[in-house]
Structure 1
Amino acid sequence: MSKRIELGKTGIHIHPIGLGANKITEEDKKTNTQYGGKILSTAIENGLNFIDTAFIYGNGESEEIVGKTLKESKSREDVVIATKGAHKVTNDGILVDNTPEFLKNEVDKSLKRLRTNVIDLYYIHFPDEKTPKYEAVGALERLKEAGKIRSIGVSNFSVEQLKEANQDGYVDVVQGNYNLLDRSVEREFFQYLLENDISFVPYYPLASGLLTGKYSKDSVISEKNKARPQFQGDMYMENVKKVKKLRGIADKHGVEIHHIVLAYYLTKKPIDAIIPGARNTEQVLSNLKTASVQLVPEDLQLIEELFPLE
């Protein structure tokens, strides 16, 4: 089991390898996806204690699975739960709402689905267009004072929105898109996060699988991934070639390419933890191996030469 680390300034201690629970509502043999409870229990039994979910992951179903699993396994006290809210299901589709009243109601609903008295980390999942960000975060601060949440996060905020949200110093964690193919948040966010002792949790850390080394020029690409720029044309082939060059580092450490990529993120302050998803128990166990990888300076140099901050 890896040593626990503090998540920013929250006082919450977690295994640096968490679990993104966006896949656990699925059961699909074609995509090798198991249904959630087994994935969660395997993760917890093997030392993982940081689970990241959200209302929008199955419109509450992921939260329900997390809550049910932790209740049955009697492991709630050992697990740190992060969840997110902002999405409102209406007759006109899904809207984004950051109003204090809406966030308060969503936290109460998440508490029920998660079968818990307190949520360890609650994020505003997406910013809306109208609510002042400091008002939205202020509502979460009041919920924190009431004992319903332990720490406050925002996700998918621009740096300007983050600064507005954090004008009273209430933001503990930021979650955003970050991987070797898109390191732009290092330039845009990291200095501010470090100055304010805010932790950063990246999502899409493996760029929809492109950074695992499993793709080649002959790979069949899903329709969903075909729409992503990194899977298109010359850029795709260039990315495949660069990822393959990580094989030497992986072989040296006795692991796979994705372990090297994930371990790299953990060398970057202010990243305290990563939350790769998992389609089955084998992927959970594989992700946990990342904690044993200790990259050396020459490894970091090669990685950053291949994937420079542009």
Structure 2
Amino acid sequence: MALEVPKLKLGSQGLVVSAQGLGCMGMTGSHGPPKEESDMIKLLHHAIDSGVTFLDTSNVYGPFTNEILIGKALKERGLREKVQIATKFGFRMVDGKIEVCGDPAYVRSACQASLKRLDIDCIDLYYAHRIDTRIPIEITMGELKKLVEEGKVKYIGLSEASASTIRRAHAVHPITAVQNEWSLWTRDLEDEIVPTCRELGIGIVAYSPMGWGFLAGGPTFVENLIPTDFRKNMPRFQNVEHNKIVYERVNEMAARKGCTAAQLALAWLHHQGNDVIPIPGTTKIENFNQNIGALSVKLTPEEMAELESFASGDIVKGDRNFMMHLTWYHSETPPLSSWKGHQDSV
């Protein structure tokens, strides 16, 4: 009998999603060698048939081709009404360099372009992929609020946003979800971000729930990455000899539990609460099946504490990614009062 994937409320605004989502980033470049479109469409169909209906993408994935892939997969079998599509805006190329942009005109044009690529009328959950620290968050949110009022977006989210940024954004229009990196070895959001989200009724979406794959495959996983895989540059992957102890401990406990290391890492997040939705990514059906198996792994409080001890304190060496200037620590924006003509902007 197949495992039934539960549905959960994400945030307090009405969005209901599968208890585990599917990160689609790796389906179009950046992760490993190029993928066959037909194989990725087959994977997407399998995920939806299995009950994983919360699909996470972004305009920057590909770039642009990830949204097209998802739109095509949904169109082939008329699956639009069965899924919840989360996509993002925020990164754009300027003079050959990537910058973060929250300008209202860009927000609107990015939304229109995503709708066209996805071939849908409305985005279920639209995230600011990163926070533009040059523009008050209220200005960006003002445009997102208009897109909701126009029926182009149902719910609004933020990614890698600080507690104060979340509060200021939420005051303009309710935030449904905050997406931040969260895993056994990345827990920096627990002191400020998680309590803020829970106070405000905001759901938490955990990206890279298996430490960019390391908690699932350990040193062998890193060794097998192709040279063009951007994960090669992860600071923690430059310290594999030191950090492998975390994987080894997780793997040993998984063997005791009769599950895989990947399932154990995901189960730990599922046990954080019904307001937490991990979105592991994969490009293989067998890995997808393994990931949803995490939903049936039960952990006691003692086992949770044991797991957390594996990567506590300064056990892990290296920053969690190579773009720490774009994490929530650095997402403060100017006060609205400093913005010229702000009276007409929100």
TM-score scaled by length of structure 1: 0.90
Structure 2: runs of 5+ lacking an equivalent: 315-346
2:137–2:168 Cα contact (<8 Å) kept:
yes
1:279 & 1:265 partners in 2: Cα distance? 21
Aligned to 1:176: 180
Tell me: CA distance 1:109–1:33, structure 2 relative to 1, closer, same or farther (3 Å).
closer
Q: Which runs of 5+ in 1 are unaligned?
A: none
1:291 pairs with 2:295 = yes
Q: Choose which of 108, 129, 135 in structure 2 pairs with 1:131.
A: 135
The DSSP-based 3-state class of the residue aligned with 1:215 is: helix
Alignment of 1:179-218 (within 5 A): 179-215=183-219
Please name the residue that 1:8 is paired with.
11
SS at match of 1:95: strand
CA distance in 1, matches of 2:312, 2:167: 27
The Cα of 1:121 is off from its aligned counterpart by: 0.2
Q: 1:102 to 1:219 in 2, by over 3 A?
A: closer
Contact 1:18 1:51 in 2 (8 A): yes
Structure 2 residue 281 is matched with structure 1 residue 277: yes
CA distance in 2, matches of 1:281, 1:126: 30
Equivalent residues in 2 for 1:52-67, closer than 5 Å: 52-67=56-71
Q: Indicate if the aligned counterparts of 2:33 and 2:226 stay in contact, CA closer than 8 A.
A: no
Q: Residues 82 and 119 of structure 1 are in contact (CA less than 8 Å); yes or no, is this contact kept in structure 2?
A: yes
Alignment match, 2:305: 301
Root-mean-square deviation over aligned CA pairs: 2.4
Instruction: Quote the residue 2:233 is aligned against.
Output: 227
Output the CA distance in 2 between the equivalents of 1:214 and 1:87. Answer: 30
Whether the aligned pair in 1 keeps the contact of 2:129 and 2:160 (CA below 8 Å) is yes
Q: Give CA-to-partner distance per residue, 1:198-217, whole Å, 9 cap, x none.
A: 11112122122211144269
After TM superposition, give the deviation of residue 91 of structure 1 in Å.
4.1
Pick from 76, 80, 83: which aligns with 2:84?
Answer: 80
Deviation at 1:288, TM superposition (A): 1.4
Flag the 1:220–1:114 CA change in 2: closer, same or farther, 3 A: closer
Cα offset, 1:100, TM superposition: 1.6
CA contact (8 A) 2:125 2:153 kept: yes
Partner Cα distance (1:270, 1:44) in 2: 20
Q: Could you report, residue by residue, the CA deviation over 1:102-151 in whole angstroms, capped at 9, with x for unpaired residues?
A: 11121111111111111100001111132210121121122112211111
Whichever residue aligns with residue 117 of structure 1, its letter is D
Aligned to 1:159: 163
Match of 2:262 among 255, 258, 262: 258
**Closer, same or farther: CA 227–142 of 1 in aligned 2, 3 Å:** same
Q: Which amino acid in the other structure matches residue 12 of structure 1?
A: L
Aligned equivalents of 2:208, 2:52: Cα separation in 1: 19
- Structure 1: 4+ residue segments shifted above 6 A: none
Cα gap change, 1:64 to 1:254, in 2 (>3 Å)? same
The answer to whether the Cα contact below 8 Å between 1:123 and 1:152 also exists between their aligned partners in 2 is yes
Q: What is the aligned partner in structure 2 of residue 111 from structure 1?
A: 115
Percentage of pairs with the same residue? 30
* Inter-CA distance 218–117: structure 2 relative to 1 (3 Å threshold): closer
Kindly indicate whether the alpha-carbon contact (under 8 Å) linking 1:42 and 1:284 is maintained by their aligned counterparts in 2: no
Instruction: Please tell me whether the aligned partners of residues 2 and 15 of structure 1 are also in contact (alpha carbons under 8 angstroms).
Output: yes
Report SS of the residue matched to 1:121: strand
- Is 1:120–2:120 an aligned residue pair? no
Match of 1:237 in 2: 241
**How much does 1:303 deviate?**
0.7
3-state SS of paired residue (1:94):
strand
CA spacing shift, 1:92–1:31, aligned 2, 3 Å: closer
Q: Displacement, 1:255?
A: 1.7
Q: Please report how far the alpha carbon of residue 183 of structure 1 lies from its aligned counterpart in structure 2 after TM superposition.
A: 0.6
For residue 24 of structure 1, give the secondary structure of its aligned residue in structure 2: helix
Q: What letter is aligned with 2:162?
A: S
Count of residues in Structure 1 that have an aligned counterpart in Structure 2: 307
How far is the alpha carbon of 1:243 from its aligned partner?
2.0
* C-alpha distance in 2 between matches for 1:185 and 1:27: 25
- CA–CA distance in 2 between the matches of 1:302 and 1:160? 32
Contact map agreement 1:203 1:276 (CA 8 A) in 2: yes
Match of 2:302, SS state, is helix
